[in-house]
Structure 1
Amino acid sequence: MSFKIDRGLFKYDFIDHHAVLCVPVDADVKDIRKRYLQIARHLHPDSSITESPQQKQLGNELLSKLVNPAYEKLSHERTRAEYILILSQMGKRLVQEPTTVELKTDLARQLAGANNIDHFYRSAIAKLAQTQYDSLEQVLQVIAQVSELNLVYLIRSVAGTPAQSQPKVNSGTSKPDTAKQTPPAPPPALPKEDSVVEQYVRRAQSLIEKNQFAQAKVELQEALKLEPKNSRCHSLIAMVYLRQNQLKMAKIHFENALKLDPNDQTALQWKPKIDKALGQQPTDQKVTSSPNNGDKQPDKSGSGGLFGGLFGGKKK
């Protein structure tokens, strides 16, 4: 059986692993694993004793050639971060290129014009997941349908939700009702860089709340490529490095944040503590530390004392 798909994100020479597993593009590792186990139990030859040998073989091929590679890519932090970076860059490119996105399914067209895109998108993905692998002969069509939803959601997430930022849709079926349309307008302007940066920051903040620091760092690195002098981005990525116990990198970005904005409260709060943890006295900021530290040596590795005490430790 050929596993070629030419719709949705697959159309752009991209393997849509989220569509294979039928999970949202921002699903966390826990949800990805849960979904993978559901599919694996369903497709594994040993768990489908009532099906024909042909069905068992097809299920095993789907599992080994599509499902397992998708899970491998999305379950490991490094490969997942790289994958998410490519995905975000693709979304940005699709927004900037004046191409028409051809959608084949009603769900994708409805998402293109939906007001509450997050609710519609997640509800549609959850509904499709319920029966995605019930008919093995129809699996590729369902994956293609999910990938169309991912494509539309990605474009709208990067471009924003105003109507002028929605993807151009070519249904390929019937001509639009021109009587209800306003006169043709000039092509919408590309999103300003600062609005794109805000999108990166918003996604990064959401990922930080989920403790998905590797992906948050990728988003903020992309934002800093667009606006290297954005103090907020420097401060946020410093917090990401701090939560990953990379104190030296956190210190560098907090310093950059203070150079750009001397009143950055996050940097003012954390830089002196990092300086002390690294065994360095701050030059121009007052250190505010607890008198109960005693004569213990600071943890220069960044693990234990600072990280555990400030984020995970119990209050005395």
Structure 2
Amino acid sequence: MSFNIEQGLFGFDLTDYHAILGVPVDAEAKDIRKRYLTIARRLHPDSCAAESEVDRQRASEYLSKLVNPAYEQLSQERNFTEHQVLLKMKGQQALRQQDTIVLMSDTARRLAGTGDIDQTYRGAIRELAEQQYQSLEQTLDRIGQISELNLVYLMRKHGQADGTAAPRPTANRPSASGKPAARPGQPAPPPPPPPTRESIVASNLRRAQEYEAKNDFASAIRELREALQLSPTNAQCHSRLGVVYMKLKQETMAKIHFNQALKLNPQDAIALEGKRRLDMTSGQAAAPPQKTPPKAPPKASPKDDKGGGLFGLFGKKK
């Protein structure tokens, strides 16, 4: 099943985990967990109330490929923090490109022009979330509509912070966390330093390798592409994409990424090994098999003489 969502933050090459779970972008951990459990009970095969086999299969696909991965990302503190940084960056990017953005839903257009941004946003999210997983054939459209609301909300909030939108006076009421807002005379505690671009890319790479080890290649590719959105000239991301595509037997895509990695870093060991193996495979297809393998060249590196090392990254051919 293909999940093609192009509205909202999805249109900015970001998987909107909050939209998938139907929660605001500033939702707390306990609310995210509560919402996840509600959705999981509705979609899980043991408790799904869908009558048709098509809907039962659809529910299972949504749970395993959308809902569970979204909760996994938002329930782990480090991943959650990194995703919040990405949301901020995408909101700023959208604000700069606001003249080119076309909102598809009436709800998002109303949010873009409302005066009470917070109350309107939360009410609209709550209303859509109630319907999100009831009629499963409309679920992807609901996710797209929620993501549009998230996009507009982030744009408006960043617009206020940058002074591009007129700030509205706010009362001294409890914050979203339930704690009283700081009074003007009280210094706020310093926020923790946000993750750097390099640390986010490193985390994407780490998660991609974890997914790769589980043979979840689609998730590995998603992580690596998100990393390349932040760091397009990262040779390591390209070489790892080459490895994943090679495991999927997509030699053309693997070669593209190996070549790109070598353009950026001619000494990238993974890309060199991957390209060597691709060339060897194409050579074997053109030439008759040899009874005895040729001797290793005298200047071969120790990694080429052993069974482990980089060779193990590409798996064994059966």
Shorter-chain-normalised TM-score: which range? 0.5 to 0.7
Q: Secondary structure at the match of 2:9?
A: helix
CA distance in 2, matches of 1:112, 1:153: 8
Write the distance in 2 (CA, Å) between the matches of 1:56 and 1:19: 22
Measure, in 2, the Cα distance between the counterparts of 1:21 and 1:99. Answer: 29
Q: Are 1:95 and 1:190, in contact at CA under 8 Å, matched by a contact in 2?
A: no
- CA offset digits 1:145-201 (Å, max 9, x no partner): 10111110010011029xxx9xxxxxxxxxxxxxxxxxxxxxxx858xxx9xxxxxx
CA distance in structure 2 between the partners assigned to 1:43 and 1:3 by the alignment: 16
TM-fit CA distance, 1:131: 1.3
Residue 12 (structure 2) pairs with residue 20 (structure 1): no
SS of the aligned residue for 2:189 comes to helix
**C-alpha RMSD of matched pairs (Å):** 3.0
SS of the residue corresponding to residue 236 of structure 1 reads coil
Q: How far apart are the structure 2 equivalents of 1:208 and 1:128? A: 23
Aligned twin of 2:119: 119
| Cα deviation, residue 208, structure 1 | 7.3
Check the 8 A contact 2:42/2:49 in 1, yes or no.
no
Q: Output the CA distance in 2 between the equivalents of 1:56 and 1:208.
A: 37
Q: Distance in 2 between matches of 1:209 and 1:35?
A: 18
- Greater CA drift, 90-99 or 7-16: 90-99
Say whether the 8 Å CA contact 2:111–2:149 is kept in structure 1.
Answer: yes
User: Aligned runs of 1:1-316 on 2, under 5 Å?
Assistant: 1-48=1-48, 51-97=51-97, 99-160=99-160, 206=175, 236-237=189-190
- 8 Å Cα contact 1:111-1:117 kept in structure 2: yes
- Report the Cα distance in structure 2 between the residues aligned to 1:45 and 1:53, rounded to whole angstroms: 11
Which residues of structure 2 form unaligned runs of 5+? 168-173, 181-185, 194-318
Task: Give, in angstroms, the shift of residue 29 of structure 1.
Answer: 0.4
Contact 1:9 1:15 in 2 (8 A): yes
Distance 2:7 2:117 in 1: 20
The aligned amino acid for 2:79 is T
TM-aligned CA deviation for residue 100 of structure 1? 2.1
Identity across the alignment (%): 50
My pick for the range that moved more, 87-96 or 44-53, is 44-53
Secondary structure at the aligned position of 2:15 is classed as coil
Distance 2:60 2:102 in 1: 32
Gap change, CA 1:27 and 1:50, over 3 Å in 2: closer
Query: 1:96–1:40: structure 2 CA closer, same or farther, 3 Å change rule?
Result: same
Counterpart of 2:11 in 1: which secondary structure? helix
With the length of structure 2 as denominator, give the TM-score of the two structures.
0.52
CA separation of 1:34 and 1:210: change in aligned 2, threshold 3 A:
farther
Q: For each residue in 1:38-89, what CA deviation from the matched residue of structure 2 results, as whole angstroms up to 9, or x when unmatched?
A: 0000001111256222211110000000000110111111000000011011
- After superposition, the Cα gap between the structure-2 partners of 1:19 and 1:49, relative to the gap in structure 1 and judged at 3 Å, is closer
Shift of 1:237: 1.7
Letter in 2 for 1:236: P
CA distance in structure 2 between the partners assigned to 1:81 and 1:87 by the alignment = 10
Task: Say if 2:9 and 2:90, in contact at 8 Å, map to a contact too.
Answer: no
- What displacement does 1:92 show? 1.7
User: What CA distance in whole angstroms lies between the structure 2 residues aligned with 1:96 and 1:21?
Assistant: 27
Q: For residues 49 and 160 of structure 1, do their structure 2 counterparts lie closer, same or farther at Cα, with a shift above 3 Å needed?
A: closer
Residues 58/110 of structure 1: CA separation in 2 closer, same or farther (3 Å cut): same
Q: Distance in 2 between matches of 1:49 and 1:156?
A: 39
Match of 1:245 in 2: none
Superposition TM-score, scaled by structure 1 size: 0.53
CA contact (8 A) 1:96 1:190 kept: no
